[in-house]
Structure 1
């Protein structure tokens, strides 16, 4: 989900980071099994997608509103665009609400957009605001501008919402700021989620343990979910029945210093620690990694870096996944490194073996950061060898990277994107 927009110069403050979270019950599944897949603008009752997931037409459900809307099929669909759920759309020229009866709890909400000319409407006129209950998810959002900037044909947006009532009301509203504006949606997905965001303890670099105040009413937008050093993972390859997509990280690596992609040694097995549920990330994420490479002199001359464009003015939860997967990395102080976020030290002397307990044992770290200003900005995540402990290898490693925007005053909407 890269954003090809101009850089906005913004100050960036590192707030805190925390050790892997013990606040979950172990396991590999969610507490309930809600999974709604709506193909919008069609009355078909069963449509299978490329991941062998079955969608239903929203016209066959009780989720739709009695408010007027249009439906449209796409006769000349770009062959690069999957048919499901992008071959039909529901279009709104006035406010329109879907109502989903749900049990209270956490849910991933995914919205699917294919901006093209529908009937007598032009894609460039589509500007919309999308809300769920009190949360503004998108404001004055143009899917057309977004895909043009990204050089994509279609896109989806993923949000995590805590539902405290028995219904989720999802409202699409054409923007009042643009003449001839309309809203549309091609697909809606709602899936149960365990609490993957609760944070029990922060660990500061000065050794002071403090509690990060996590608001259960907070909403999140998934900005990036990267399988570092590995292939993209489809929803059917995810863990925990959450059907998340994991993207390959290569498009986000800074410069030509790609490091080295690694796969786990064949004679070792990933073993999740007792306090870490498997739904945090699938085995595939921890079975591959990216390191700096075998040449110590070269490694000392650069940072292994990823650049991620985000909306300024929000807090972000940055989650880094680690797992040593190759021999001879089995002992403490063999590979120790710095973790930087936006040129500030998030942690020094980070040793995966020290904190995980051994080879092929995954851990993850959460970092909460604050951005200021407005518009788009670049978030940097970088690793560099730390030689202060006389480490054996001058190297660093990362297996997975996630970035979540955190709501402020019930708002997640950035500028267009």
Structure 2
């Protein structure tokens, strides 16, 4: 049996100690949001649910009850759960028969990640497949006439970036006029890192490129989050608990590209992308041109994404040169919907002459009447004839709210609130007019009986603090 020399053992111990320190540093420097609300809706107990090493509290527990502002709700538990088929977050749901809200105190104003989880449960008391409802967050309409049901019965996760400049974030669930039910399985409200969304982007138009400003104040819905050339990235491996899906189903021509990867260190630089923008798992894989080094390739690499027409979209493209052997060899062009979005993109220059350093570029594009959004990368006129290539590591596509503050349809939040049925309270309220002078003169007390109709317009914020203590809770 071979034994290591004494000095080798010392160096191994030193290396082990160094790795421990490095691991501890990474854990201590991980993103820790100021606002971090994780709610397991429909759960009555004080036990927390562990999902991706995060603790979700029940919305009817001692900790969670402060967020739930309703006069009546139903706690629903799945009566026939499929073991191991879904997250424990989808084993319970909170059901509403009237407009209801969750209210979160905001300590750090700015952009917040809002994730809302839906899955229809099996119950003899309620058929959640018949639910039809609206969801709003402060002044933005997130979902309109939403069912919360997928054909295969799979969970639905809706993710948004919401700008909050007030002390409260109020998320409301409003049954549609065609339904009496709304429901939700889980809610996440997380303050976003300051560098997650920049205020400006490149506006891609048929006439050319312009500046787009005011992006941070928009509400955005995540439509696609793609790991180009790599496998699925789960929330466990993302510092913001995001999921990145493979790009294969969106790739126009698989033969046009090939995948590359690196096991080396990704070099995050000041002014570039951080791990909160995208994790290592995204930047250490990519697609490059399959015919690299061919002087005149006759194709680009193209991805096609189905979208909803009539909206503007934020397209974030992630780049990290893990393919080049040295600097200043990689130049390429970027196209969105066939329009030139970035000419002669030079990652060596953008990253300050550092290879394997991540960088991202934000584009805003108007889909007008199109129901498809295409992204292409291809050779640049600056490419060296012997070094023709292009690279892409990741793509995010987010829908921007329209002029009515909506992310789902042409209806704004105001008309929805006005269309709600008003609760009527009929009765006689006696009004006794006791005026001493009239009594002395006429000796008669006039009594009027006035029928009063009490119009109560629903507000997302309760005006009576006692309302919080009047929740009726039922388990089905």
TM-score (normalizing by structure 1): 0.81
Distance in 1 between residues matched to 2:29 and 2:163, nearest whole Å:
20
Of the structure 1 ranges 94-103 and 277-286, higher mean CA displacement relative to structure 2 is found in 277-286
Q: Superposed, which structure 2 residues align to 1:113-128 within 5 Å?
A: 113-128=118-133
Paired with 1:380 and 1:53, the residues of 2 have a C-alpha distance of 36
Partner of residue 233, structure 2: 233
Give the superposition deviation at 1:232: 1.8
Residue 218 (structure 1) shift: 1.5
Residue of structure 1 equivalent to 2:392: 398
Give 1:86 shift.
0.2
In the alignment, is residue 136 of structure 1 matched against residue 133 of structure 2? no
The residue number in structure 2 matching 1:261 is 259
Three-state SS of the structure 1 residue aligned to 2:158 is strand
Higher Rg = 2
- Where does residue 313 of structure 1 map in the other structure? 310
1:293: Cα distance to partner?
2.1
Give 3-state SS (helix, strand or coil) of 1:311's partner: coil
Query: Residues 232-381 of structure 1: matches in 2 within 5 Å?
Result: 232-239=232-239, 242-257=240-255, 259-264=257-262, 266=263, 268-276=264-272, 278=274, 279-294=276-291, 300-328=297-325, 330-332=326-328, 334-356=329-351, 357-373=353-369, 377-381=371-375
Q: What displacement does 1:68 show?
A: 1.1
Contact 2:334-2:377 within 8 A present in 1 as well: yes
- Give 1:152 deviation, angstroms: 6.4
Q: Deviations over 1:384-408 (max 9, x none)?
A: 2234544433322101111111112
- C-alpha deviations, 1:7-28, integer Å up to 9, x for none? xxxxxxxxxxxxxxxxxxxx97
Unpaired runs of 5+ residues, structure 1, are 1-26
1:45-60 superposed matches below 5 A: 45-60=46-61
3-state secondary structure, aligned to 2:88: helix
How much does 1:285 deviate?
1.4
Q: How does 1:29-48 map to 2 (within 5 A)?
A: 32-48=33-49
Alpha-carbon distance in structure 2 between the residues aligned to 1:204 and 1:340: 9
**Deviations 1:134-191, CA, capped at 9 Å, x for gaps:** 11000111222xx22xx56111000111111111111101111x2x442110111111
**Cα separation, 2, equivalents of 1:131 and 1:28:** 34
Higher helix share goes to which structure?
2
Corresponding pairs, count:
375
Match of 1:183 in 2: 182
Q: Which has the higher contact order (CA 8 A, sep 6+)?
A: 1
Against the structure 1 CA distance between its residues 168 and 64, is the aligned structure 2 distance closer, same or farther, given a 3 Å change threshold? same
Q: 1:260-307, CA deviations, whole angstroms, 9 ceiling, x for partnerless residues?
A: 22111x4x4221222125222122211111112255569924332222
Cα distance in 2 for residues equivalent to 1:138 and 1:219: 12
Q: Which residue of 1 aligns with 2:102?
A: 98
Report the RMSD for the aligned CA atoms in angstroms.
2.9
How far, CA to CA, are the matches of 1:283 and 1:367 in structure 2? 22
| Structure 2 runs not aligned, ≥5 long | 1-27, 412-476
**Mean Cα displacement is larger for which, 230-239 or 108-117?**
230-239
- Secondary structure of the 1:143 match is coil
SS at 2:60 equivalent: helix
Alpha-carbon shift at residue 231 of structure 1 (Å): 2.1
Instruction: Tell me whether 188-197 or 77-86 shows the greater mean CA deviation.
Output: 77-86
TM-aligned CA distance change 1:299 to 1:43, over 3 Å: farther
Q: Which residue of 1 aligns with 2:217?
A: 217
- TM-score scaled by structure 2? 0.72
CA distance 1:135–1:29, change in 2 (3 Å): farther
Deviates more, 1:181-190 or 1:290-299: 290-299
Are residues 96 and 50 of structure 1, via their aligned partners in 2, closer, same or farther at CA, if it must alter by over 3 Å? Answer: closer
Instruction: Spell out, residue by residue over 1:61-118, the C-alpha distance to the aligned partner (whole angstroms, 9 max, x if none).
Output: 2111232111211122245642321000111121111111222332101000112444
- Offset of residue 255 of structure 1: 4.1
Report the more deviating stretch, 160-169 or 75-84. Answer: 75-84
